[in-house]
Amino acid sequence: MNCPIETQEGSALLLAYSSRKLDPQAVALLDRHLESCSACRDFVAGQSAVWNALDLWEAAPVSADFDRRLYQRIEQQVSWWDMLIRPFRPVFDHAVPVAAAAGVVLMALVLLDRPSAVPVAVETHSAQVETLQPDQVEHALAEVEMLDQFNHLMRSEPADSHSKM
Amino acid sequence: MDERVNRDMGAAAAALDYDAELMLRVKDGDGASFGVLLDKHRSSVIHFLYRMIQNHAVAEELAQEVFLRVYRSRATYEPTAKFTTWLFRIATHLALNSLRDGKNERSQERLDDNPDDLPAKQVSDRRPSIEATMVYEARLEEVRKAIAVLPEKQRAAVLMHKYEEMEYSQIAKVLNCSESAVKSLLFRAYETLRARLAHMA
């Protein structure tokens, strides 16, 4: 076996060996090499010391109110949508199907009226229909629904649920 | 056609990565799945950021921003990579920006991060002696300083390799570089750490 310390690939192998991430076959091969190579032995000893030293650094626990603060920030982002559509919500609930039906009728009328139809008028009507795209309303309603789910999660979650981490 | 291919690729990636599947559910409006993702990755993201920045309050603030960005991106999310790769790419980006923006003001406080300000750890029944505690604190301080002096990308690579147990290929994707560049970053970083910490064996 060529000395692994001489190449980048080999050094990566020694790093993996020191961090105990090698498969048993590769470990056995390296063990045999280490018996006769003091440079690699020093490398492995130093790297193992680093590995153990890094193990000392345990992470600090997470603040108990981390989730609450996060959901609050999400809520702030969502609430402007909510505020925007809330007054129109009952109207939207009923108006969307009506508007869609009106749009279809309007399109039908325009098509029937051809070729004497005035294109400008058609554009005006379709623009009105666009302002009430069901996708937009659905997106807004989904935002509000998700916010409700978060609120529910916040209420059901005990204050210290992740203080153990 | 393209859309179908993308969807198929997304489905394949999601099959390999449960987190990606959860994120797709968030995309479909399932708030509970966001909660599951938060539960699963909250600690690792905060700990990674804390070890990068070495300031607990800033690390938590950045972690909030990470999860906020995940939430905000749900509508456009496509599982083209592992979820944790995407998550740590956001975290690393924010950490590097924070280090660059506030390097001077934070370099003073980060190593003096007052342990009293940190959330309380659970107290073990077997309390170590004062001497043992002092030795531990001194060694820990050495480790923190050794990590802090590493160049930012080397630091990020070491933290992902050591504490998140990421493969070279995943670290490469997070740092947006080649695998051989990651090997080189890690080799140089561990060389520095060996010079500073080998005596702790």
Supply the DSSP symbol for A131: T
- At residue A76 the predicted structure's pLDDT band, cuts being 50, 70 and 90, is confident
- Can you give the C-alpha Rg of chain A in angstroms? 33
Our measurement of the distance from residue B157's CA atom to the centroid of its chain's CA atoms, rounded to an integer in Å, reads 10
State phi, psi for B55 to the nearest 5 degrees.
-145, 115
Smallest CA–CA distance from B166 into chain A, residue: A21
Write out the two tokens for B22: 């959860």
Residue A41 confidence (pLDDT): 92
Judged against a pLDDT cut of 60, whether residue B93 lies above it is answered with yes
Judged against a pLDDT cut of 70, whether residue A33 lies above it is answered with yes
Contact in structure between B95 and B53 (CB atoms under 8 Å)? yes
Which residue matches tokens 């051989």? B180
**pLDDT tens track for B107-137:** 445 454 555 555 555 555 567 788 888 989 9
Q: If you count DSSP H runs as helices and E runs as strands, how many of each does chain B have, helices first? A: 10, 0
Smallest CA–CA distance from B181 into chain A, residue: A8
- Tell me the three state secondary structure of residue B157: helix
| CA distance to partner chain A, nearest, from residue B8 (Å) | 24
Q: Which CATH architecture has domain B129-201?
A: Orthogonal Bundle (1.10)
Claim: this prediction has a pTM higher than 0.95: no
- At residue B159 the predicted structure's pLDDT band, cuts being 50, 70 and 90, is very high
Domain covering B1-110, topology? Rna Polymerase Sigma Factor; Chain: A (1.10.1740)
A52 has a chain B CB within 8 A of its CB = yes
- A-B contacts at Cβ under 8 angstroms: 126
A54 has a chain B CB within 8 A of its CB = yes
- Tallying the residues shown for chain B, one arrives at 201
Q: Where are the domains of chain B?
A: 1-110, 129-201
Write out the two tokens for A1: 């076996």
